[in-house]
Structure 1
């Protein structure tokens, strides 16, 4: 009995020693991992985030934002890095939201107006760009599925040089408003009567001429479509499959053949016409 008790005691002491050794190894591993994490310090900077959701047209106030630490390597483009940038001391008026934003989202310059500006169309135009309105209906306006922020191709149908044709005249035009609505978070289809597009002056000149001389139709461009459309022109013959046959070459009238001989008369050489032997 004493022998069995001794064996059990010896076995228990051995197992306890193994447990202590294993625990010591694990603690050393945890300590090493913590030291490595402390050494891998991530550089941070301050970024302004929202403390509450915001919707299109809402005014921004100091109660809606706060500063947090953000990895400096991954600061979003256009983010504010101080409250003075959001609320300049010498500025009059509030910033207004141009897009819907959620709580804890970084505040970006592209999603708010400048201080004192409203959320109208003029605040959304890029440098050197102009706004131009086009008349549409349920057919030419893609059945009301166009929303602010979408891109469209513009087709012109009209007569020219004695033939009625349809031609692609503008591609990837950015829509900034539909009727009086410029909220890009609008999800409901709208049967619009006018759309407002953003374009440089030279493209607007082409649109104005096209609208005055024919009918315009819109084609919606996919969100992820970055392809550039080439020249597109379709006439009635193209739809009907009529191919113009090449004109037969005109017959060339051949001049009558004239045969001559040279004859010497005294000291003078004369050319005398004679009948051709192959006629």
Structure 2
């Protein structure tokens, strides 16, 4: 009786194994029948701004239903095209990753339409200790002395003049895959023409600082800047009235004149009344 039960269990196991094998064979057969097309992919890592040659590319089978838009089937179509973003090995080379046909290689190929590239001199402090890397976004702050009004001393002020500026390159490197800090002497920024003018003026009148910001934070914050007196909590004293005493050679009482705050700084004046005439002498 025990032998019959063991034989039955063995037979059942054989049936289950056979069914699993048949199912697996059918699944493999169905996968092999999926339609596929050739798609061009990167055979090596291609740096941003590089001109493509056939040695950088290869082709592979790609399921027809999941071919990404803008993919290429023939390597010859990509001869001498320039990539405007870095393409990693094994990634499909897509039209949106390429600069327009006829573009020459280099940094100019990756500048967005309507933008300009401008380089500013930095050090380890201005360059955020080397963390302002290609692909990051920064704000630009200037520390300068304001123009003096009449009778006033120019105030030192720090103010953010540009926000959400893309770093295109540091020194002569434009690769965006390295996350290690690089202390360099120059940083190239992508700007509109108007912002380029602001930056050029800012670096001529004061000291620049780069402020690293979150890559996905696109909010802008308008500030009035901060002066030295505001930083230390000092209250600015408003202009006060200036009293000018007038003396006469007669027995008339002295007069007091109150100068308005907007008037020019008053000098000491003396009114002299003699023989019915008045003369005002100021010193």
Q: TM-score, normalised by structure 1?
A: 0.65
| Cα shift at 1:14 | 4.0
Residue aligning to 2:15: 24
Report how far residue 45 of structure 1 moved.
4.5
Tell me if structure 2 keeps the 8 A contact 1:98–1:119: no
Question: Does the 8 A contact of 1:132 with 1:196 survive in 2?
Answer: yes
Cα RMSD after superposing both structures: 3.7
Q: Give 5+ residue unaligned stretches, structure 1.
A: 1-9, 88-93, 249-279
The equivalent of 2:59 in structure 1 is 67
* Residue-by-residue CA offset, 1:161-207 (whole Å, 9 max, x unaligned): 54321111111211112233333346462331x32211122222222
- Is the contact between residue 143 and residue 191 of structure 1 (CA under 8 Å) also seen in structure 2? no
SS in 2 for 1:228: coil
1:261 corresponding residue in structure 2:
none
Deviation sequence 1:224-257 (CA, Å, 0-9, x none): x425241232111221022458999xxxxxxxxx
- 1:117-147 deviations in Å (ceiling 9; x for gaps): 5542211111111112223333322234433
- The aligned residue for residue 278 of structure 2 is none
**1:120 equivalenced with 2:106 (yes/no):** yes
Q: If you compute each CA radius of gyration, which structure gives the higher value, 1 or 2?
A: 1
- State the partner residue of 1:209: 201
SS in structure 2 opposite 1:241? coil
Taking a change above 3 Å as real, the CA distance of residues 127 and 157 of structure 1, as seen in their structure-2 partners, is: same
- Tell me the CA shift for residue 24 of structure 1: 1.6
3-state SS of 2:168 partner = strand
1:9-67 Cα offsets, whole Å, 9 max, x none, are x5434422332233223433553566567668866553212334555776543343222
Q: Give distance in 1, aligned partners of 2:65 and 2:94.
A: 16
Q: How many residues align?
A: 231
Question: Is 1:196 aligned to residue 188 of structure 2?
Answer: yes
Alpha-carbon contact 1:149-1:176 (below 8 Å) kept:
yes
2:138 corresponding residue in structure 1: 152
Secondary structure of 2:108 counterpart: helix
| Cα distance change of structure 1 residues 152 and 73 upon mapping to structure 2, 3 Å threshold | farther
Structure 2 unaligned segments of length 5 or more: list them: 148-153, 241-283
